[in-house]
Amino acid sequence: MPEPYYPWGGEFITGPPSGCVAVVLLNIDYVPPPGVAIYGKLKTENIGIEKIVANVISNPHIRYVMVCGEEIRGHRSGSSLLSLHRHGIDTQHRIIEAPGAIPYIENLSEDAIARFREQIETIDFIGVTDTTRISTEITALDARAPPPFGEPYIAIRLKPEATVTIADARALHARITIDYLGRVKRRGE
């Protein structure tokens, strides 16, 4: 199931793995030119961003990440991704200066984030919905044809036929409830 270059998987479309451009789509319906290595929608400012990072650093040919389309309201996922690239995360795993509501990175190591920040250059096309302009920029980036960034970095690999049973190690949680706002209360209160 996982593609060799993108082992975490997810909802994305792949092109030639030697392509140097990845395209992150916010609120926009757009199919990039065929030379793009990978493209897909970004929804959330936590797990969504983590998947992009993992899938980008697993393909060292990707050297440019373009973020285009109207920003996701509330989540501000596109801006949060750019903040991760510019500033990294703090000790609480929060993306520094990210405008999203819950921009926490929990599934990637600091090394993986550092690799992302070094491997790629971001192209901020947030708010741009002119597909001709976007395609022109992508074609120009593709023509630069930079060398690959070393070996693939595999942040998360899925191990087929895992036999580990996830035990309930959170028995405490049987005594609490969490409401729709994420507030924790004791059961019965």
Q: List interacting residues with other proteins (CB under 8 A).
A: 1, 9-11, 46-47, 92, 94, 102, 104-107, 156, 158, 162, 164-168, 170, 173-174, 176-184
Q: 41 or 117, CB closer to other proteins?
A: 41
Instruction: Give the span between the Cα atoms of 74 and 85, in whole angstroms.
Output: 20
- Reported as half-sphere exposure (CB side, CA atoms, 13 A), residue 63 has a value of 15
Q: 9 or 152, CB closer to other proteins?
A: 9
Q: Nearest approach, Cβ of 57 to other proteins (angstroms)?
A: 16
Q: 125 or 153, CB closer to other proteins?
A: 153
Instruction: Give the span between the Cα atoms of 41 and 29, in whole angstroms.
Output: 9
Closest CA to 92 of 54, 128, 46: 46
- Reported as half-sphere exposure (CB side, CA atoms, 13 A), residue 156 has a value of 18
Instruction: Give the span between the Cα atoms of 24 and 71, in whole angstroms.
Output: 11
Q: Nearest approach, Cβ of 11 to other proteins (angstroms)?
A: 5
Question: How many residues in total does the chain contain?
Answer: 189
